[in-house]
Amino acid sequence: MALRIFGDSISGNCLKVKWVADFLRIPYVWTETSVVNAQTRTPQFLTLNPAGQVPLIILEDGRPLAQSNAIMLHLADGSALIPADAYERARMLEWLFWEQYSHEPYVAVARFQMRYMGKTRQEIGERIYERGAAALKRMDDALAGGGFLVGDAASLADVALVAYTRVAHEGGFDLSAYPAVKAWVARVETALGIV
């Protein structure tokens, strides 16, 4: 049985998993699972993931695994996407945890609500934009010297953060205010072969 990925193509969290599998040439079967159309809330899907969320993978032996960053870590185990140095690996994990707590809840939420729910910036609320801008500024400062978030090559930290950063404009964020981030997005897309 091949690796199976349940994912929604509009979700950066799902695309992170797809990009890692593609980069590492891990064969998989993609099952498009729409969040907007409540396909993650069907009884069939809920038996696979009671949290009712994508991405979800079903491993070759039939075991399920959810949460994008956990899936990426599993797929990339032993690969160049996880730094060999213990400190750099810990810094990569630091960015992964930060992404889910301080970036995704603002940048991704603004994008989803604006692009897919048709809400205006005013309806979404300024607090989300303030926190999203703070996250992008944090990244811009970290990337001011060029390169990648950790070390000299792309790691899972870059995969995790590029997913929603590259489409932040769809949520009302102007990346021209963050030139180091904008240049980094291009570097990560090239390094990972993201189109």
Domains defined for the chain, CATH in brackets: 3-76 (3.40.30.10), 86-192 (1.20.1050.10)
pLDDT, mean of residues 109-131: 97
Q: Determine the average pLDDT of the residues in 4-27.
A: 97
DSSP bridge pairs for 28: 3
Mean pLDDT in the chain? 97
Say whether pTM exceeds 0.85: yes
pLDDT band at residue 139 using 50, 70 and 90 as cut-offs:
very high
Averaged pLDDT for residues 35-40: 92
Residue range 137-152: mean pLDDT, rounded: 96
Q: pLDDT-derived band of residue 177, with 50, 70 and 90 as boundaries?
A: very high
Residue 112 has a pLDDT of 97
pLDDT band at 1 (very low <50, low <70, confident <90, very high): confident
pLDDT for residue 125: 96
Buried b (16+ CB within 10 A) or exposed e, 155-186: bbbbbbbbbbbbbbebbbbebeebebbbebbe
